[in-house]
Amino acid sequence: MATAASAPSSMLGEREVVRNTGKEAIGTFLESQACYSVLRASGKVVVFDTRIPIQLAFYALVEHDMQAAPLWDPKHCEFVGILTVTDFIDVLRYYRQTGSDVATLATRSIADILADEGILNTVLQKSIPRRFVVKGESKESDQHSSFVAIDVEATLSRACNLLHDQCLDFLPVMLAPDMRVLATITYTCVLDHLVSNFREQRRLFDDTIYDLGIGTYGEEVVVAYPHQPLHEVLHTLHVHGLSAVPVVDEATKKIRGVYSRSDITFLTKASDAEDAVSNLNLTLDVLMSQQRSDVTTPDALHTCSTRHTLQSVFEYFAQVKFNRLIVVDEEERIVGVVSARDLVAYFL
Amino acid sequence: MGNQPASAAGGGSVSSSRRSSGYNNQGTPAPPGGAAPVGYKLQHPNQYPGMKKSTSDMSMTDNTGEFSDQQQQGALSRLDMATIAAAEEDTVPTVFRWEHGGRNVYITGTFNGWSRQIPMHRSGNDFTYIHNLKRGKHAFKFIVDDEWRFAPDQPTVADIEGRINNFIDVTDFKAYTGDKEFEKERAAADYNSCCKSDRSTADGDESSSGGKGGGGRTKDNEGEVYGHSMPDLDEYTKEPPPLPPHLRHIILNKPPQLQDTAALPVPQHVALNHLYCTAIKDNMMVLGITQRYKTKSCTTVYYSPC
C-alpha cells in the first residue's frame, strides 16, 4: 500500500515540474519578445479625428471591419483614446434608455459624445465595468482622457500585464517619436504569437485546461437565452464586463450559439441609427438567424470539452483563431467558457 | 546678321560686336526672367528715354551705338575686381531658357552667327543652354520640334523682314560679388526699369515699338508687378506629369482578408510614404499612408473632417 500511495505523489510531482517548466518557458518567452514581434507584416490602423460625427465613425469601423480605432485630438496633437464597438453599444443603450433623438448622432462629434456627462453617468458608470476601474482614488474621469498605450519595443509580458491590470481589450502599440499607432493588440494577437511558437512543444502542455483551472466554470458562467431582447443581453455583458455570452436553450440547456459585442456591427449595415436603436428590442433568436455564415469570425461558436489538453486547445486555435471556446459536456450542455484572455492570463 | 569674330578684348570689341548685331534696340532692359546673364545688372536704365526710336528701321543706328558707348563708359568707371576678371575674357555666361514644352529644342542666334542649331538640355519640361556671350546685344530664336519659335516671356525684337526674335543685352553685365552695395544697386536698377517702362508707355513715345516683352509693367502699392502681356498658353494648360504606374497599386483598395481584417498585402517599397486620399464625402476626407517600421509596414487610415 505504501508504494501505491507514493507512486501517484511522485507522478504528481513530475507533472507539476513539467507544468511549471511550460509556464516558465512561456513566461521567459513573453519577457524576451518585444511588442514588435506581434505586429503584422503589413497592418492597418484606422484613426479617427475626434471632430468627426460619431455615427460616421461607427460606419467606418464597420466598413473596415475593425474592432477598435485610436482617437486623435488635432487641437492637442495627441491620441486621446480608443473607440471600440463597446462604445457604440453604450451610446445606443443610452439613446434607448433616455429616448433621446437618435438623429443627433449624425451630427454629434466623437469629442462631444465623450464629453457628455449624461452618457457617461447613465450607461458607463452605473455599474463600473472593468475597463473603467481607475487605479487609486482618482475620480472616474472618462477613460478616453487617459490613453493607455505601449511602446513598440516594450516586452510582450509588459503588454500582457497592461492588458490585464487595466482590464483592456485593446492596447495600442505606439511608435512614440513619430506619434504613430502601429497596431492595436489584443489577447488573441498575443495568443496567436504564443501558439505559433509553442505548437511543437507538445510535452509541455498535456494537462487539460480544466485541471489547470483555465477559464470560467459552473455557476459563474453567465448565459443568455434566445427569447431575451438584445438590450437585456447587452446590459448583461456590460454589468459583467464580458465581450460575449453563450446563448443557451432554456429547456434543454444545450448551447445554441454565442452573442458577442462585435455582432452589433451588423445592425448598422442594414439601417440608420434610428433602426439600430429599435433593433435593440429584437430577440437573440431573430438576431442570430441574421448572423452571417459566409465567414468564420474569431467570435463564432467554437466548443471543446473539459478533457481537452492545453496543447489541443493551442492546436485548435492555430486553425480557427477563436476569441473564446465554450466548454460543453457530451450532451452539448454548457460547462464553462475559456477565452483567449484566460489562456494568456494563465501564463502571467 | 552675324557677329564679327572677336578681335580683341576690352571695350573696343564690345562696341564692334554690338554694332554688328544688327537689330533695333527696343529700350527694354533685360527682364528678371527669361534669358538673363547670371547676376546681370543695369547701370543706367534711365538713359534710355533720351533716345529717338524709329518704328520702321530695324537696323542698328549710330545713335544707339553712341548711347551704348556712354553706357559702357559708365560701367567701366565702376568696375570692381570681379568685373575686371570677367572683362579679361569679356564674356558673360548666360543661361538661355525655353519653358514652353516640346520634345527637341534647339537654339541659334547672333552669338554663333545663326550658323548652327545647338540642342538645349532638357530639365523636366524645360530646356536650358548656357553660352558665354560677348558683351553687347544678342538676338536668338528657338527651334522647337522643327518649328521656329520665340519665347513670349522674354524680350523680343523684329528683324528687317519682320520676323520676331528674342534678344538679350549683356552689355552692362556685372558679376555678382556678394557685397551689399551690389544688392542695393540691383534693387534700384530693377525699380528704375519698372518706372521707366511705365513712363514710356505713358508717353506713347515708344509704346508702338516697345509693346512686346514685358512692356507696360506697373508696380502697385505692395510692390507686386503686373503686366499686360498674356502668359503663354502652355504655362497654364500644361498636362501634369503622369502618375507612375506602380503607385496605382493601392493596398487599401485590395479586397480584405476574411480571417484578419486588419491585415493588408505587403506593400511595394515604392508605395511607402505616399499619401492617398479619397474624394470628400459627407464632409469627411479619408487619408491613407503606408509607413515602415523596421521590416514591417503599417498603414494608417485617418478620418478627418474638412
Q: Which residue has the higher pLDDT, A107 or A72?
A: A72
| B67 pLDDT more than 70 | no
pLDDT for position B177: 62
| CA B135/CA B87 separation, integer angstroms | 9
Distance CA B200, CA B48 (A): 10
pLDDT tens for B132-157 read 888 888 999 999 998 999 998 888 88
**Could you say which DSSP state residue B241 is in?**
P
Q: CB atoms < 10 A from the CB of B236, how many?
A: 7
Q: What is the CATH number of domain A37-195?
A: 3.10.580.10
- Per-residue pLDDT tens digits for A279-336: 788 888 888 777 666 556 777 888 999 889 888 888 888 888 888 999 999 998 999 9
Residue from A37, A38, A42, A179 to probe the interface with B (highest B Cβ count within 10 Å): A42
In angstroms, the CA A241 to CA A244 distance is 9
Least confident of A120-129, A299-308, B35-44: B35-44
Would you place residue B176 in the very low, low, confident or very high pLDDT band (cuts 50, 70, 90)?
A: low
Minimum distance, in Å, between the CA of residue A64 and any CA atom of chain B: 7
Q: What is the pLDDT of residue A86?
A: 80
pLDDT above 80 for B37 = no
- So what's the pLDDT on residue B262? 86
Which amino acid would we find at residue B168? I
Least confident of A76-90, A234-248, B140-154, B178-192: B178-192
Taking CA atoms, what residue in A is nearest to B298?
A43
C-alpha distance from B247 to closest chain A C-alpha (Å): 17
Q: Which residues in chain A are classed under CATH 3.10.580.10?
A: 37-195, 216-346
User: What is the C-alpha to C-alpha distance for residues B3 and A10, in angstroms, rounded to an integer?
Assistant: 112
Architecture of domain A216-346: Roll (3.10)
State the pLDDT at residue B186.
Answer: 64
B256:A152 CB<8 A: no
Q: How many residues does chain A have?
A: 348
Which element (helix H / strand E) includes A197? helix A187-198
- Is pLDDT of B207 > 50? no
Report pLDDT for B66.
38
Report, as an integer, the average pLDDT of B171-187: 68
B74 versus B305: the higher-pLDDT residue is B305
Contact of A80 with chain B, judged by CB distance below 8 Å, is answered with no
Whether the pLDDT of residue A268 is over 60: the answer is: no
Give the model's pLDDT for residue B219: 66
Residues of chain B above pLDDT 70, percent: 55
Assess A60–B contact: CB distance below 8 Å, yes or no.
yes
Contact A145, A116 (CB under 8 A): no
Chain B CB contacts of A45 under 8 Å are 262, 298-301
Of B259, B294, B303, which is closest to A48 when you measure between CB atoms? B303
What confidence score (pLDDT) does residue B199 get? 47
Q: Which residues contact A45 (CB under 8 A, 6 or more apart)?
A: A69, A70, A181, A182, A183, A184, B262, B298, B299, B300, B301
Of the spans A23-27, A59-63, A141-145, B191-195, which averages the highest pLDDT?
Answer: A23-27
pLDDT at site A296: 61
**Spatial separation of the C-alpha atoms in residues B265 and A222, rounded to whole Å:** 39
- A36 and B263 in contact by Cβ < 8 A? no
What angle, rounded to 10 degrees, do the helices at A2-32 and A156-165 form?
Answer: 100
Which chain B positions have a beta carbon within 8 Å of A49's beta carbon? 302-305
Lowest mean pLDDT among A100-114, B26-40, B281-295: B26-40
Q: Which of residues 169-188 of A touch B (CB under 8 A)?
A: 175, 178, 180-183
Whether the pLDDT of residue B45 is over 50: the answer is no
Whether residue A66 and residue B259 make contact (CB cut-off 8 A), yes or no, is: no
Rounded to the nearest angstrom, the minimum Cα separation between B259 and chain A is: 7
Chain B positions in Cβ-Cβ contact with residue A57 (cut-off 8 Å): 303
Q: How far apart are CA B110 and CA B96, in angstroms?
A: 13
